[in-house]
Structure 1
Amino acid sequence: MLKFTTNLILLFISVTAFAQDSLSVETAAIDTVQVQQASKDSTVYKQRYGLRVGIDLSKPLRSFLEEDYQGLELLADFRISHNVYIAGALGNEEKTTQEDNYNFTTSGSYLKVGLDWNTYENWYGMENIINLGFRVGASTFSQTLNAYQIYNTNQYWNEIQSGIMGEDMLGEYSGLNALWAEIVLGMKVELFRNVFMGASVRLNYLVNNTQAGNFPNLFIPGFNKVTDGSKFGVGYNYSISYLIPIFKGNKPQKLPSNNQQEQED
């Protein structure tokens, strides 16, 4: 009886060990299949990091259409992470403005530097951008007062001239500067390989500016028109740019499933 019991125990131990080995083999096989399936469902896409340079198309177009305006703006951005870009602009503007009592010419250069955050999650292989950004802008410029008219409140007998022309204030006022902040909402779409078309709107807030005596800054290069009694301004641009790839970074991108591919086909 003892021998039979001993043999039964040994048989039970052998069967248990064999079952455990079989279960381990099946588990390993399942893990291998899951890894292979995950490899099929996703891939590592080499995303491009580099310098994108371009030009604001709205300013040359405006220069062509308006006789009293000349402007040029160069744009650039550099990708520092998956969704973050360092962005900037360098430009020059000259504009002659006719107000009720003033005719003046503003000429100067400006620089804008800031960050863009791409809020758009691209499909596999795409590099389009819908960005929310922030800029700090600075401008140095001069104002040339071409003519001004001092308003005459004495309108007795409907005088022909409502004011007198002054000459003591005429001339150029140089060494002016301004500082402002911008919130930018824009987009860039890749039309061809490395070629992007973009557009943006901007809300500006004037932080500080120097004025020439009693003559206010009614136009600031890079900031746009200055509204009396308000520090806010608006702007826009249309751009075309070219990406110069420098290096590539890895990021797993989920490929479309078989069902999605069948639907697309």
Structure 2
Amino acid sequence: MLKYIISSFLFLSTLIGFAQNENVIVVDSVSTDTIATEKIEVKEYKQRYGLRVGIDLSKPIRSIFDDEYRGLEIVGDFRVSHNFYIAGELGNEEKTTQEDNFNFTTSGSYIKLGFDWNTYENWYGMENIINLGVRFGLSTFDQTLNEYQVYTPNQFWNYEDLNYGEDMLGTYSNLNAQWAEVVLGLKVELIRNIFLSGSVRLNFLINETEANQFPNLYIPGFNKVTDGSRFGVGYNYAISYLIPIFKSNKPQKNKTPKVEEN
């Protein structure tokens, strides 16, 4: 999985470089026989501020190929300043997991809210993003234990005589979890107002409520919970549309090179 995430980031980085190269502006130097001068031309161009809304493509695609999974996530952000964005995700997941001694289904919804900071300085007219961000996540969900077997190293007993834990089978409701995420992502404008994005996330579980009989082994939005660790990982690939609301000017300085006297 890590290999695919890294490959996707390299692909998106290539797109950014290609988009920048397509928009190179060549400035011819002006020769002169007079005293060396430096001319500074100040330009202003309007940057778009608005709401960007989209869908995580990885979850519908996974739902098609994995019969044990159903998921949908809506992503969005709103530009507050030149490099600062309020961002969030809203989603729903249902996943059935088969382990060695039990089978369970997790179903629930989640919301993530936070911000992104664009660390990439675009060339004139470009609005691509390499962002670092933080999210706070909240999930409410149910866990249904479908099958359960008590492990025993003593093979003397017949399986028919063992208690398979039927009293533990059933649905455990009103469970919840809260966590924090550190986000590293890319957004590339493919065509006007259409962005392709990808991100990887490092999650830290802050708090959770779980059933006494059965632990939370999967949390919607957080993903797999590892025994003995509060850390998790996640990713998404999204396509989104920017709804421009207003534009703001940003000064841009272009310098012509000094010309020495002959």
| TM-score band w.r.t. shorter chain | 0.7 to 0.9
Structure 1 Cα separation of the partners of residues 252 and 202 of structure 2? 35
Deviations along 1:119-150, one digit per CA (max 9) or x if unpaired, are 00000000000000000000000001101001
Matches within 5 A, 1:1-265: 37-38=39-40, 41-156=41-156, 164-255=163-254, 257=256
Shift of 1:167: 1.1
Partner Cα distance (1:131, 1:51) in 2: 17
Whichever of the two has the greater Rg, that structure is 1
* 1:179 Cα offset (Å): 0.1
Letter in 2 for 1:77: D
* Distance (whole Å) between structure 2 residues aligned to residue 226 and residue 163 of structure 1: 29
- For 2:75, give the aligned amino acid: L
Q: Is the 8 A contact 1:124 1:255 kept in 2?
A: no
Q: Summarize the Cα distance change of 1:59–1:256 in structure 2 as closer, same or farther, 3 Å threshold.
A: farther
Query: How big is the shift at 1:154?
Result: 1.7
Amino acid at match of 1:126: M
Could you tell me which amino acid in structure 2 is paired with residue 95 of structure 1?
A: K
Residues 86 and 115 of structure 1 are in contact (CA less than 8 Å); yes or no, is this contact kept in structure 2?
yes
* Structure with larger RCO (C-alpha < 8 A, sep 6+): 2
Report the CA distance between 1:247 and its aligned residue: 0.6
- Is 1:102–1:148's contact at 8 Å kept on the other side of the alignment? yes
Distance in 1 (CA, whole Å) between partners of 2:204 and 2:228 is 13
Question: Gapped runs of 5+ residues in structure 1?
Answer: 1-32, 260-265
Amino acid at match of 1:93: E
Query: 2-side partners of 1:222 and 1:43: how far apart?
Result: 44
Amino acid at match of 1:199: G
CA distance in 2, matches of 1:250, 1:215: 56
TM-score, length basis structure 2: 0.81
1:162 deviates by 10
Any idea what SS the aligned residue of 1:67 has? coil
1:16 corresponds to: none
Give the Cα separation in 2 of the matches to 1:255 and 1:67.
Answer: 56
* Structure 2 Cα separation of the partners of residues 196 and 258 of structure 1: 36
Q: Give, in angstroms, the shift of residue 254 of structure 1.
A: 2.7
- The one-letter amino acid of 2:201's match is R
| Counterpart for residue 32 of structure 2 | none
Q: What CA distance in whole angstroms lies between the structure 2 residues aligned with 1:237 and 1:211? A: 26
The runs of 5 or more residues in structure 2 that have no matched partner are: 1-36
Asked whether the 8 Å contact 1:152–1:163 carries over to 2, the reply is: no
Letter in 2 for 1:213: N
CA contact (8 A) 2:168 2:213 kept: no
Tell me: CA distance 1:81–1:94, structure 2 relative to 1, closer, same or farther (3 Å). same
User: Going by fraction, where is helix more abundant, 1 or 2?
Assistant: 1
Amino acid at match of 1:90: L
Alpha-carbon contact 1:151-1:163 (below 8 Å) kept: no
Q: Distance in 2 between matches of 1:163 and 1:100?
A: 17
